[in-house]
Amino acid sequence: MKYQTIDVDGIKIFYREAGDPAKPTLLLLHGFPSASHMFRDLMPALADHFHLIAPDYPGFGQSQSPDRDHFAYTFDHLAQVMDHFLDQLKIDQFLMYVFDYGAPIGFRLASWHPEKIVGIISQNGNVYEEGLGPKWAQRAEYWQHPTPELRRQYQSAFARETVIGQYTYGTPAGSVSPDGYSLDLYYAATIDDYAEKQSDLIFDYQSNVRLYPQFQAYLRQYQPKLLAIWGKEDPSFIWAGAEAFKKDLPDARIIPVASGHFALENCCPQIATEIINFFG
């Protein structure tokens, strides 16, 4: 494993790299409120089969966190930085593993450059309205009628209890190490202006839902090879979001695992095996 930084658009982007560059590249796109450390167990498990690249987005993990006056914290902007990151590394074809926030970032990349996408692993990476859990109805009301009070209320998304619950809900008791969520909480406490930057992204999530039809059109037109492997107890992106891929990709492989949102935390060996069997 290598741990490196690269300058992209004047921002220092941290990334993890493993495996042989001669093998197919697998881009690992993390979710919220995490960073590339969520792939700390998956990357060694796949290193004999793929060339693995896992970046931290600006404002996340070990990447630079530019201030809001000079950097727009939107999903379009994060995707643009990731697009330029791949250009910097001269990666012109890749598989991608998308999870949570990684899905709207990754599917933007796929829509912009369909010729670059070799295949997709979606682990609780939603692009269908059917996959939106009950909490999203309240968020839609917030997007339609934003107020400072609601903006502050939604900062509960990265409160300690919420983050731990995201990791442990729907998992067998004692099956999730505290390492992942403890590091997420550390970043939340130490990244400058974290609450406001993440609040910008929570508000901008509406842009992703508006793009769902475009992402689905990409799938229908290009028919990428896709494995949807889903923590079936995820309350944020529910199981129906995995099943919905079949509407546009009849040959997609859809697999439930006994987990919640952060399925890698207790199902990493199973997920790694399914990836190797499907793409290796």
Residues with catalytic function: 261
- Cα–Cα distances in angstroms (integers) from residue 150 to residues 97, 156, 215, 237, in the given order: 32, 10, 29, 22
Angle at which helices 194-222 and 102-112 pack, to 10 degrees?
50
Question: 13: Cβ–Cβ under 8 A, 6 or more apart, which residues?
Answer: 5, 6, 7, 55, 56, 58, 63, 64, 81, 85
CA 274 to chain centroid, in Å, comes to 18
CB atoms within 10 A of CB 85: 22
Q: In the numeric block, which tokens belong to residue 82?
A: 């990731």
Distance of alpha carbon 198 from alpha carbon 201, whole angstroms:
5
Q: Residue 97 in contact with residue 45, Cβ under 8 Å?
A: no
Q: Residue 14 in contact with residue 56, Cβ under 8 Å?
A: yes
